Chain A
């Protein structure tokens, strides 16, 4: 058990625990903040896997963008009288049983499967290589994603804007 392992377990714990709180806390704002920790934990795991650019992107986009977006969503769709914005829950028990069994089954699959693993060398910094890949092998997808983002931008603005009376 070396230092790498310890850090993994710490990040895994942060991720899973905060995720558990995300899905169980009744207060929506609290959930959002727990989600922040989850994203941080996941970013740590990315770093452990040698994906430094992805980890930074994760923090920038998720924490800086999506999470703020979600918080705005919460704010805009609730009458803000206090911070105690609660959410109801439905069929907790069947969901708990189903996801429990599902989790067990998937984890069992993960554990019991003989993965063909082949050690590979990940460069210390991946940014340059990813940039190279994006403009060579994946350039079409890259362009398409650009268009998609534009469409999403216009679409979101169009859907959400106030109707002109």
Chain B
């Protein structure tokens, strides 16, 4: 398979969902069952992406395939030089992996939705929205420049707005959609500014060109601080999209959307876009920027995990769990564990999508009951859902033999190494705490939902196992949560093909003095860096090896502890959760009310905005309107004067001209009698005059 064929297939993959979207949007009403066309298109895209991924990983493993063309040429201005804006695609290992993940989950969600959304009155439009969302997400994955990235970024924002607000008759849903959109905008402003900083300096949006420039020592405005700022600002976009603290508030609300949408957008793809963006800009992050990213990620994961402990809505728990895991990935990128961060992105996408679809299955069979306090005992009624859900839960909790363990262990080892090398011990501390909390609340969720006795007998009696099209995606996703797909060694991902062969940490390009010490390659490795493979010092590699086993045992210990407590509280009821909650009431409420962050925003940002707007309104009413009205009065007076002038002088002149013309016309009209005889008389007179003039006699 040649490179150009690879690129062409990727472009086909990109545009297939768009084709589905347009077809379904325009003909969905006339042709029934057209949604199946959209599903089929996703199936084709999935097949093609598997082919592309296989070809790329087998035959072009170390080679990036780029295809670009110049979109806009702004000429060659004297001082800024030639400005050309390129559009293009870049296919590297990460791209094809993301292509596969996005297409697979999108396809499974499509299949799942066929049953889940049946009977909805906007059924076909729902599939159209899924199509445009998939298109936007694939655009982000495939692009090779920041401009296209930004365009598709906003498209993702738009389509997620449409999907979250899909049941827009519900006020909560439309509010959630607006909230998601606006909160995302806040992050995007930062991203936009960051992009513009880079563009101002390099006159291009293309990643590779920018990185080459930075590697050559050309940094924005000649200052490392600007480079740090650009990295952090672009990271702000990821903060918005990937729901990092403090912009994470939109994601739990976004659960108002249909559950398959939550699985697609809020587990696997859209929120992963932020992480993907950071992965893309990883090589231009300075030590300061990385520290900021690590702290934001760590804090996010902690906040979300503590909130998830007390939530009672099945989807809310999963939402906060997602936020927490995204915080993990961001933190991993911040501490330099690039490969494990991306690895976790992939594994998390599978098991979290499985969890969301499983919850969708539960909600579907319980007739849209989402409160776990009304569930229980569903294990008997829904065995397939239960076992797939359990596998995913084990994966997210970090139990060996499952995919989550591999990636999470890598991340924790990375933080441990980071703590040892830099002295920032609080980051691994948070990491392990969150691992324990995750295990606890996930098992709380499983136990309350599936184990024990049914707490709402009526709904329980109506519950039933989901049909095949809903169960099949669960099975596929649960299967992908097993270690064997990623590595032959169930306790160490480093030997697996994913880490060893597929995901290569790219070489940092920022100046040496701005890097962490462990990111500076030792002398003999510096030569290898030219090939863009080695970015760490020998010391880092050794520390990672050292950290591997401590991290593994520690994470197993905290996960086991979390699971133990979960069973103690909810399965065996040795401990009473309600009593404990009563005892630590303030803390419990703090967590239940999501750290009061929404209230805080209401009081500060929103109230501030509102009062500022009312001040502006007052200013508008009194000052601006006063000026406007005053000038209006003056202008009215002047207009009246000029109107008078118009009426009497200008119109007078015009009317006089018209009157004069009319008068002359009327006078001459007499001559035009319409009678031939009169004309003959005139002719005779004319001949007489001519005769007198020429005097022939």
Q: A–B direct touch, CB within 8 Å, in complex? A: yes
Which A positions have Cβ atoms within 8 angstroms of B?
A: 90-91, 94-95, 98-99, 101-102, 105, 108-109, 111-113
Known: A90-B677, A91-B678, A98-B688. 11 other contacts (CB 8 A): A91-B677, A98-B681, A98-B684, A99-B684, A101-B688, A102-B684, A102-B688, A108-B697, A109-B697, A111-B697, A112-B697
B697 & A113 in contact (Cβ 8 Å cutoff): yes
CA distance A69 to B350 in the complex (A): 112
Residues of chain A within 8 A (CB-CB) of B696 are 109, 113
Within the assembled complex, what's the spacing in Å between the Cα atoms of A91 and B687? Answer: 19
B interface residues, Cβ below 8 angstroms from A: 675, 677-678, 681, 684-685, 687-688, 691-692, 696-697
Q: Is the interface of A mostly helix, strand, loop or mixed?
A: helix
Complex Cα–Cα for A90 and B677 (A)? 9
Distance of A72 from chain B, by nearest CB (Å):
23
Q: What are 25 A-B interface contacts by the 8 Å CB criterion?
A: A90-B677, A91-B677, A91-B678, A91-B681, A94-B681, A95-B681, A98-B681, A98-B684, A98-B685, A98-B688, A99-B684, A101-B688, A102-B684, A102-B687, A102-B688, A105-B688, A105-B691, A105-B692, A105-B697, A108-B697, A109-B696, A109-B697, A111-B697, A113-B696, A113-B697
A98→B691 CA distance, assembly (Å): 13
CB neighbours (8 Å) of A102 from chain B are 684, 687-688
Q: What residues of chain A lie closer than 8 Å to B687, measured between beta carbons? A: 102
By a CB distance below 8 angstroms, the chain A residues around B691 are 105, 109
Residues of B close to A90: CB separation below 8 A: 675, 677
Q: Which residue of A lies closest to B697 (CB)?
A: A112
Q: How far is it, in angstroms, between the C-alpha of A91 and the C-alpha of B678 when the chains are bound?
A: 8
Bound complex: CA of A105 vs CA of B691, how far in Å? 8
State in angstroms the CA–CA spacing of A98 and B305 once bound together: 119
Tell me which residues across on chain B come within 8 A of A105, comparing CB atoms: 688, 691-692, 697
Question: Nearest Cβ distance between residue A35 and chain B, in whole angstroms?
Answer: 19
Query: Complex: how many Å from CA A66 to CA B677?
Result: 23
Q: How far is the CB of A109 from chain B (nearest CB, A)?
A: 5
A36 vs B675: C-alpha distance in the bound complex, in angstroms?
28
A95 to B682, CA, bound (A): 10
Residues of A within 8 Å of B684, CB to CB, are 98-99, 102
Q: Which residues of A contact B678 (CB under 8 A)?
A: 91
Task: Tell me the complex Cα distance, A82–B54, Å.
Answer: 119
Closest B residue, CB atoms, query A94: B681
Cα distance, A101 to B681, chains bound together (Å): 12
Name the residue of chain A whose CB is nearest to the CB of B682: A98
Least distance between B693 CB and chain A CB atoms (Å):
12
Name the 8 nearest CB pairs between A and B, nearest first.
A112-B697, A98-B684, A108-B697, A105-B691, A109-B697, A102-B684, A101-B688, A98-B681
- Report how far A90 CA is from B673 CA in the complex, Å: 13
List, in ascending order, chain A residues with CB within 8 A of B675's CB: 90
- Give bound CA distance, A109 to B675, whole Å: 30
A94 surroundings in chain B (CB, below 8 A):
681
* Bound Cα distance A91, B673 (Å): 13
Shortest Cβ distance from residue B685 to the other chain A in the assembled complex, whole angstroms: 6
- Closest beta carbon of chain A to B351's beta carbon, Å: 98
Across the interface, name the chain B residue whose C-beta is closest to A107: B697
